[in-house]
Amino acid sequence: MGMTVEQLEAAKARFGELLAEQDKRVEAMKAQGDFIDYKTLDKIIIGVCGGDGIGPAITGQAKRVLEFLLKDETAKGKVEFKVIDGLTIERRAALQKAIPDDTLAELKECHVILKGPTTTPRKGDPWPNVESANVAMRKELDLFANVRPVRIPEQGIDWTFYRENTEGAYAVGSKGVHVTDDLGVDFTVVTSQGTERIIRAAFEYAKANKKTRVTAVTKANIIKTTDGKFLDAFREIAKEYPDITADDWYIDIMTAKLIDETRRRDFQVVVLPNLYGDIITDEAAEFQGGVGTAGSANIGKRYAMFEAIHGSAPRMVAEGRAKYADPCSVIRAAAMLLSHIGYQAQADALYKALDICTVTEKKLVMTGHEDGATNEAFADYIMETIKGL
């Protein structure tokens, strides 16, 4: 045997710790109440967390747009903004924490959060290999539903992805075990509670938005235990929604079918485990113009976070070009935030303005360089457009 008894025992002990953590999570999910009802709150606190790189620049512009749209609400004391600037890679690296404690406490004072991109350290970076701030925030605030819409009206594409956001390959993604120099193991986690709540959220969204089809994507033919459980739960819950067609695909053929122009427009709502959701939503966003055009909502029962899904572009900052970084993705995330907390008219106005400013009228063009517009000018353009609606 290549593995020593000590190595085996250490791996078993580690596995035991991971199981205990996950078991605790299950109990916490069981104890959880219902979704927060924003209408019952005296005041909604909106956190604005710039993140790294170009994040503070573009998120700052999205905040201006939000403040403009919520001017009356802020004056009435119904809405308050809270800027949270401690989530930088420098601080996370210095403190060796995915989210510094004081920053996490500030995030927890908010109801909803608008977040810029955060640098995810990877092997070979100058940064220590701490867990991704993104992933940590989703776990800490239990933001289990990652909702990513992709719309291309002229091609008949109107997809909404419901990606499970706290389990699967991500649950203990940074805590795998190097059993020996030759043997490494990672874990995929599934729970009944975690699976049911995301699948139900997808069906409820479909029902509320008059969608007629919900598709589950797994690899349950191979990953039999965890994906198998996800698929079983999907089939069970689907029975409660007889008016909605429920079908399932394996992730490999699903990635292919999204390219098939004769079939892809048939998909409507897609629900899937974490890693598959991560992969396929990048593919889907690419048809719409790239990940930079997409916004993403991370929704839990108590908190919700809205983010741009592109990176932090440190090179743009190093070259002094942060002010030319395109704020569209995070402004789109701001529109999702407005709609989530019940300001649908403001959200609709913002979506309309985004469409005018980036597709139909396009008076300003962002290139990321000096020859393009600044993000401040772009935010002004959005606000002017809204005034003219």
Q: What are the tokens at 58?
A: 């573009």
The answer to whether residue 278 forms part of the interface with Mg ion (CB under 5 A) is: yes
* Rounded least distance, CB 330 to Mg ion, Å: 16
The answer to whether residue 307 forms part of the interface with Mg ion (CB under 5 A) is: no
Q: Which of residues 113-142 bind ligand IPM (CB under 6 A)?
A: 120, 132, 134-135
| Helix, strand or coil, per DSSP, at residue 52 | coil
Q: 């930079």: which residue's tokens?
A: 292
Q: Residue-wise over 168-184: b if at least 16 C-beta within 10 A, else e? A: bbbbbbeeebebeeeee
When the beta carbons of 161 and 205 are compared against Mg ion, the nearer one is: 161
DSSP code, position 41: -
* Rounded least distance, CB 156 to ligand IPM, Å: 25
* Rounded least distance, CB 287 to Mg ion, Å: 15
Q: List Cα–Cα distances, 90 to 52, 86, 107, 180, 286, in angstroms.
A: 9, 9, 18, 32, 31
Q: Which of residues 234-293 bind ligand IPM (CB under 6 A)?
A: 278
- CA pair distance 301, 58, nearest whole angstrom: 27
* Rounded least distance, CB 239 to ligand IPM, Å: 31
Q: What are the tokens at 308?
A: 């741009």
Among 309, 331, 347, 379, binds ligand IPM (CB under 6 A): 309
Determine how many CB atoms are found less than 10 A away from the CB of residue 339: 18
* Rounded least distance, CB 88 to ligand IPM, Å: 15
| C-alpha distance across the termini of the chain, in Å | 73
Instruction: Give the bridge partners for 216, in sequence order.
Output: 248, 271
When the beta carbons of 65 and 284 are compared against Mg ion, the nearer one is: 284
Residue nearest to ligand IPM (CB): 132
In the list ligand IPM, Mg ion, none, the entry touching 191 (Cβ below 5 to 8 angstroms by class) is none
When the beta carbons of 326 and 373 are compared against ligand IPM, the nearer one is: 326
Site size for ligand IPM (CB under 6 A) = 6
User: Which residues of this chain interact with ligand IPM, rule CB under 6 A?
Assistant: 120, 132, 134-135, 278, 309
Binding stretches for Mg ion (CB under 5 A): 278
